[in-house]
Amino acid sequence: MYLNGNTFSKILVLVAVFIALAACAPKKVRLYGASDSLRNDIVGSALSLQGKPYKNAAKGPDAFDCSGFVYYVFKQHRVFLPPPAAAQGRAGYEVGRNGVQPGDLVIFRIDGDFHIGIVLSGGDFIHASKSRGVAIDNIDTVYWRRQLVGYRSVL
């Protein structure tokens, strides 16, 4: 089959549009092993905020920084955490990677500052990203793995 240059260009544009749209779509997350309803409710609340913009020192509901996002989500379920990420990273108790559950906190150290998110499942976590707002990432990517400090449970 032979494609002329014009047809090939159209196909290339369609493929590029499809890839761009797929990358912008909110990621669907399936929970595994979280039988506790409070954990499921916290994860559901966090996911409902996906796409909200990042704003330094913002605690929601229209925009968030990382610790403001965690503070806001947990507050909705009457779990009160201190606002700064460093303090949130000391709240509760430490859990290992094998014991982490949806709704636990994941803590990172990036350029000397703490960054915090909420564990979803299968290595996925949700956080307020400076570049993308509230978004889902995976701990197993090289970037996040290098920044990982640990996990904490406050539930």
- pLDDT (tens, 9 = 90+) of the chain, 155 residues, equals 454 556 545 555 454 444 444 444 444 444 444 457 899 999 999 999 999 999 999 898 999 999 999 999 999 999 999 989 999 999 999 999 899 999 999 999 999 899 999 999 889 999 999 999 999 999 999 999 999 999 999 99
Q: For residue 10, what are its two tokens? A: 């159209």
Report the pLDDT value the prediction gives residue 11, as an integer from 0 to 100: 53
Report the pLDDT value the prediction gives residue 5, as an integer from 0 to 100: 53
115 has catalytic annotation? yes
Range list of β-strands (E), the chain: 93-95, 105-110, 113-119, 124-129, 133-138, 148-153
Catalytic residue among 43, 46, 58, 66: 66
The radius of gyration of the chain from alpha carbons, rounded to an integer in Å, stands at: 18
Where in the sequence is the domain holding 72, given as residue range(s)?
5-153
Catalytic residue among 89, 115, 126, 152: 115
What is the three-class DSSP state of 127? strand
Catalytic residue among 39, 52, 127, 152: 127
Domain count, the chain: 1
Report the pLDDT value the prediction gives residue 83, as an integer from 0 to 100: 84
127 has catalytic annotation? yes
CATH code where residue 39 lies: 3.90.1720.10
Report the pLDDT value the prediction gives residue 118, as an integer from 0 to 100: 97
What is the helix (H) or strand (E) element at residue 99, kind and residue range? none
Place of tokens 């960054």: 115
Cα–Cα distance for residue pair 126/144, rounded to 1 Å:
12
